[in-house]
Copies of this chain bind each other. A is one copy, B any other.
Amino acid sequence: MTLKVYCDRMSEPSRAVLMFCKILGIDFEECPVDVLKGQTYTPEYIAINPNSKVPAIADGEFKLYESHAILIYLCCAYPGVASQWYPSDLFERSKIHSVLDWHHTNLRRTAVGLLLNTALVALNPRPPSRQAAEEAEKLLLKSLSFIENVLLKDGRFLCGRSQPSIADISFVCEIMELELLLQEDHDRIFSPYKKVLQWVEDTKSATAPHFDDVHRDLYDQQKGYREMQQQKLEKAN
Contacts and interface: CB of A to CB of B under 8 A. Distances in A.
Interface in A40-83: 50-51, 62, 64-69, 72-73, 76-77
A60 to B, nearest CB: 10
Chain A facing B: main interface SS: helix
A69 B167 CA distance: 13
A230 interface: no
Given A90-B76, A104-B104, A104-B105, A69 B98 contact: yes
A4 interface: no
Given A77-B90, A90-B76, A66 B109 contact: no
B97 A66 contact: yes
Nearest to A71: B97
Contacts of A73: 90, 94, 97
Contacts of A150: 50-51
Nearest to A106: B51
A95 B90 CA distance: 20
A102 interface: yes
Interface string A87-120: 0001100110110111011001100000000000
Interface of A: 50-51, 62, 64-69, 72-73, 76-77, 90-91, 94-95, 97-98, 100-102, 104-105, 108-109, 146, 149-150
- For A65, A90, A98, the residue with the greatest tally of chain B CB atoms inside 10 Å of its CB is A98
Contacts of A72: 94, 97
A62 B50 contact: no
A59 to B, nearest CB: 9
B146 A51 contact: yes
Contact of A69 (B50, B97, B105, B149): B97
Nearest to A108: B105
A179 B125 CA distance: 30
A68 B101 contact: yes
Contacts of A51: 102, 146, 150
Given A50-B150, A51-B102, A64 B109 contact: no
Nearest to A97: B69
A174 to B, nearest CB: 13
Given A51-B146, A90-B73, A146-B50, A65 B98 contact: yes
